[in-house]
């Protein structure tokens, strides 16, 4: 086979008072790297805390030019079907199309002018880590504002799929080594910052620090969010 596969598992833990170090979910992921440079990311995410629980399945196709092509999502909230949908970016037309369904929105079909943007927001944390490839580390530590289209602006992605747009600042902090359950890795430290006046989904998202493998795979090794979330994300398995 000409493609190459990278897969693994991330453990979600809480740092909230009284729950320090307790598991609050998990994420199993696979990246399929094709010979032409395109990548298929798939992720199965389980969020147990806080209630209601969220179960998310994602498949995202990223082209060899690092532009998003399409995104599939299926969501369960509290063990009830929340919605499913498909988003596609037509680069030639400069539009994004969404076809989706959910009990709260019914049948949804929409097309929006997109212009230039950077990536699909997918909500799995491995997707957040992989998107760090958009920063040019040759510039050294710096910040860049990124424009995303995503199927939900909710911080947990827990709404029926519809086209939403957000902007986030991504900061490259520097090179650091990180040791987690899956091993010790040479990493690049990045930080997502929500400095928008209205906040992502109407509420400011706390800063998200990420340590990502310092190679072409850009696998999330460790993540840290404080503020009202107080979550940690740790790579516990990696196969490549």
pLDDT recorded at residue 16: 93
pLDDT recorded at residue 1: 77
For residue 220, give both structure tokens. 């999330």
The secondary structure of the chain in percent helix, strand, coil, rounded to multiples of 5, reads 5, 60, 35
Total count of domains within the chain: 1
Q: Using CA atoms, how far apart are residues 146 and 199, in angstroms rounded to an integer?
A: 14
Q: Which of 69, 51, 49 is nearest to 60 (CA)?
A: 69
Please report, for the domain that includes residue 145, its CATH number: 2.40.360
Question: Per-residue pLDDT for 197 more than 80?
Answer: no
Q: Using CA atoms, how far apart are residues 165 and 154, in angstroms rounded to an integer?
A: 11
| pLDDT tens, residue by residue, 64-117 | 999 999 999 999 999 999 999 999 999 999 999 999 999 999 999 999 999 989
Question: Per-residue pLDDT for 178 more than 90?
Answer: yes
What sections of 53-202 are H helices per DSSP? 125-130
Average pLDDT of the segment spanning 4-10: 98
> Environment class of residue 136 by beta-carbon count within 10 Å: exposed (0-12), middle (13-18) or buried (19+)?
exposed
Per-residue burial over 2-17, b if 16 or more Cβ lie within 10 Å, else e, is eeeebebbbbbbbbee
pLDDT recorded at residue 219: 98
Q: Which residues 6+ apart lie within 8 Å of 80 measured at CB? A: none
| pLDDT tens, residue by residue, 199-238 | 777 778 899 999 999 999 999 999 999 988 899 999 999 9
Tell whether the torsion through CA atoms of 72, 6, 174 and 134 is positive or negative. negative
Q: 3-class DSSP state for residue 93?
A: coil
For residue 146, give both structure tokens. 């990124």
pLDDT recorded at residue 201: 72
Cα end-to-end distance, the chain, whole Å:
14
Q: Using CA atoms, how far apart are residues 210 and 4, in angstroms rounded to an integer?
A: 24
Mean pLDDT for the chain overall: 95
Average pLDDT of the segment spanning 145-172: 94
Q: Which residues 6+ apart lie within 8 Å of 174 measured at CB? A: 141, 188, 189
Range of the domain at 54: 4-239
Q: Which of 122, 114, 120, 6 is nearest to 74 (CA)?
A: 122
């Amino acid at each position: 086979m000409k493609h190459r596969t990278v897969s693994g598992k991330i453990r979600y833990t809480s740092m909230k008072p009284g729950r320090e170090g307790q598991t609050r979910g998990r994420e199993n992921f696979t990246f399929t790297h094709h010979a032409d440079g395109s990548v298929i990311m798939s992720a199965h995410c389980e969020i147990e805390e806080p209630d209601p629980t969220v179960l998310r399945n994602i498949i995202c196709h990223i082209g060899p030019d690092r532009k998003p092509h399409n995104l599939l999502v299926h969501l369960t909230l509290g063990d009830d079907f929340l919605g499913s949908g498909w988003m596609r970016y037509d680069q030639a037309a400069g539009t994004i199309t969404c076809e989706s369904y959910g009990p709260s929105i019914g049948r949804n079909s929409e097309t929006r002018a997109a212009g230039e943007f950077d990536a699909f927001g997918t909500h799995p944390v491995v997707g957040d880590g992989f998107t760090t490839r958009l920063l040019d580390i040759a510039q050294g530590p710096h910040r860049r504002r990124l424009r995303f289209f995503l199927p939900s602006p909710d911080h947990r992605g827990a709404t029926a799929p519809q086209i939403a747009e957000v902007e986030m600042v991504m900061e490259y902090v520097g090179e650091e080594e990180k040791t987690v359950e899956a091993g010790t890795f040479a990493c690049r430290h990045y930080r997502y910052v929500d400095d928008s006046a209205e906040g992502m989904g109407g509420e400011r998202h706390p800063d998200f620090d990420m340590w990502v493998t310092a190679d072409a795979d850009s696998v999330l090794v460790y993540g840290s969010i404080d503020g009202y979330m107080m979550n940690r994300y740790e790579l516990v398995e990696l196969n490549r």
